[in-house]
Amino acid sequence: MLAKFVLRRALAAIPVVVGVTVITFFLMHSTAGSYVPGLALNPNLTAKDVALLRSQLGLDQPLWIQYLDWTGVAWVVQHLGLGSLLVGANEATPGLLQGSFGQSMVDGTSVSSQLFDRLPNTILLTVTAILIGIAVSIPLGVIGAMRRGTRVDNALTTVSVAGVAVPQFWLGLICILFFSVRLHDWGLPFLPSSGLQTPFTGGALLDRLAHLIMPAAVLSFVYLAIWSRFTRSSMLEVLSQDYVRTARAKGMGERRVTYFHALRNAVIPLVTLVGLELPGLVSGGLVVEAVFGWPGIGLLAYQRALAYDYTMVLGIVTFASILVVAGNLLADVLYASFDPRIRLA
């Protein structure tokens, strides 16, 4: 039964992925059709240069052929000997179906090398932000629940709700201005304002942490508000459960009741919430990456989108979407294996 369910879900995921490639491809290509990516406004470049470069990048072919080329369908067709079906196509290069994201149109580097070199940076950032989020929202939620209705509770609620009301880029820039520039002006130790590490330090751990802490903290704000409120209400619900009352009645100490029984059970639903964030791991930090010059995937996609680097942007967006679809599929499968009712849905 489970296997059938998994198969059904996986098959349903395929048209979604195909649909994603179609949407992103045609969105990306529907603007400035004759622009040649990567060419600066050069007063020495002639019209012939531009036209030549355009055709070398394959941009003068009809759009549907470019799509088939990029997805790797053209390669398959040509290798089956049916190349004549693709009127006007150049020699096809390996595409998505063959596992290749192609080359950047701006600098010729391989898209996958850029993607996978920078992916760890984004993961480092978002995972750290999630960890900070968990580490702070659990205590906030517990305190709020324990002191429900008091001023402390209200204050904490206000802080967490307020935390999401500030624009992320603004928060980031304020942090830079304070923790980097002001602290330096006052002669105090200050945090670096951009990048992964200080050049020529060989990537010492403390240095890398110093670079990581600000962007990760800013990014964690987004999670804090939701998770701390959720922990609080989850904790409240658990505390009113029968088994907690039973534990108290049995004479168990209040502290033990809270931390041992209640907390453990209150945190379990939080895991679900955290899990919801995982598919968005790759793209969530774009604004923070832009503010702090953090060389991750989001920033790469943004910069290359501005430069109309078609292949790079399509590669990154497709990759991220596949992760989302795969993540959802995994989550569905996990739920189904725990709860048989879902398999029938």
Partner 1 sequence: MSNNEAESQFDRFLDEWSRRDFLRGMGGTLAFAAFAAGGMEFLAACGGNQAPTTNTQNAVRGGHIVEGQISDISNINPIFINDVPSSLVGYLVYSRLLMADGKGNLIPDLATAVPKVDSDQVTYKVTLRDAKWSDGQPITSDDVVFTYQLMFDPKYKATTSRFRAQLEQYLASVTNPDPKTVIFKTTKPYAPFEISFMNIGILPKHIWEKLQPAEINSSPMNQVPEVGSGAMLPVKWDKGSQYQLKRNDLFWRGKPYLDGYVVKVVPDGVQIANQLKTGEIDVGNPDLSQWDSLANVETINRVSYVAPSFDYYIQNLDPAKTPKAAIFGDVQVRKALLTALDRQKVADKVYFGLAAPADSSVSGAQWVHSTPKTQYPYNQSKAEQMLEAAGWVKGADGIRAKNGVKMEWELRTNVGNKVRETLITVLADQWKQIGANVTTKPVQFPQLVTQLSQSRDFEMILLGISEGLDPDTTQLWSSKSIGGGALNGAAYKNPKVDDLLDQAVQTLDREKRKGLYQQIQEVLMEDLPAPLVTYPKSVWGISKRVKNFNVAAWTGASPRPWFKDVYVVDGK
Partner 2 sequence: MIDQLAVDELQRVGTTSAGVTGRRSRSYLGESWERLRENRIGMLAGYVILFLAIVAILAPVFSQFVTHVQPDRQDLDSQFLPPGVHHWLGADETGRDTLTRLIWGARVSLGVGFLTVTMQIIVGGGVGLVAGFFSGWVDNVLMRIVDMVLAIPAIFLFILMAILFTPNTVTLSLIIASVGWGGVARLVRGEVLSVRSRDFMLATRSLGAGNVRLILRHLLPNVLPVMIVAASLGVGAIILAEAALDFLGFGIHPPTPSWGNMLSNAQTYFAHSTWLVVFPGIMIFVTVLAANLFGNAIRDAFDPRLR
Q: Does 321 bind partner 1 (CB under 8 A)?
A: no
Residue appearing with tokens 């994603």: 20
Give the contacts of 98 (CB within 8 A, at least 6 positions apart).
Answer: 72, 75
CA angle 70/75/80 to nearest 5° reads 155
Q: Are 225 and 161 in contact (CB under 8 A)?
A: yes
DSSP letter assigned to residue 269: H
Q: Does 47 bind partner 1 (CB under 8 A)?
A: yes
Q: Are 318 and 21 in contact (CB under 8 A)?
A: yes
Give the range of 62-70, 109-117, 214-222, 261-269 binding partner 1 by CB under 8 A: 109-117
Q: Does 298 bind partner 2 (CB under 8 A)?
A: yes
Q: Does 205 bind partner 1 (CB under 8 A)?
A: no
**Site string (74-103) toward partner 1, x via CB under 8 A:** -----------------------------x
Looking at the DSSP bridge assignments, the partners of residue 110 are 103
Tell me if residue 60 falls in helix, strand or coil: coil
Whole-number Å distance between alpha carbons of 105 and 111: 9
Give the range of 3-11, 193-201, 254-262, 320-328 binding partner 1 by CB under 8 A: 193-201
Q: Does 236 bind partner 2 (CB under 8 A)?
A: no
**Site string (27-46) toward partner 1, x via CB under 8 A:** ----xxxxxxxxxxxxxxxx
Looking at the DSSP bridge assignments, the partners of residue 125 are none
Of residues 6-35, which lie at the interface with partner 2 (CB under 8 A)? Answer: 12-13, 15-17, 19-20, 23-24, 27-28, 30-31
Nearer to partner 2, 19 or 253 (CB): 19
Name residue 55's amino acid: S
Nearer to partner 2, 92 or 343 (CB): 343
Whole-number Å distance between alpha carbons of 96 and 295: 25
Residue 286 parent element (H or E)? helix 286-292
Name the binder of 48 from partner 2, partner 1, none, CB < 5-8 A by kind. partner 1
Q: Does 165 bind partner 2 (CB under 8 A)?
A: yes
Backbone angles phi, psi at 110, to 5 degrees: -75, 135
Whole-number Å distance between alpha carbons of 147 and 144: 5
Of residues 262-281, which lie at the interface with partner 2 (CB under 8 A)? Answer: 280
Four-point Cα dihedral 223, 225, 230, 235, nearest 10: 110
Footprint of partner 2 (CB under 8 A): 12-13, 15-17, 19-20, 23-24, 27-28, 30-31, 161-162, 164-170, 173, 177, 280, 282-284, 286-287, 290, 298, 301-302, 305-306, 308, 313, 316-317, 320-321, 324-325, 328
Footprint of partner 1 (CB under 8 A): 31-53, 56-57, 103, 106-110, 113-114, 117-118, 121, 176-177, 180-181, 184-185, 190, 192-200, 290-293, 295-296, 299-300, 303, 306-308
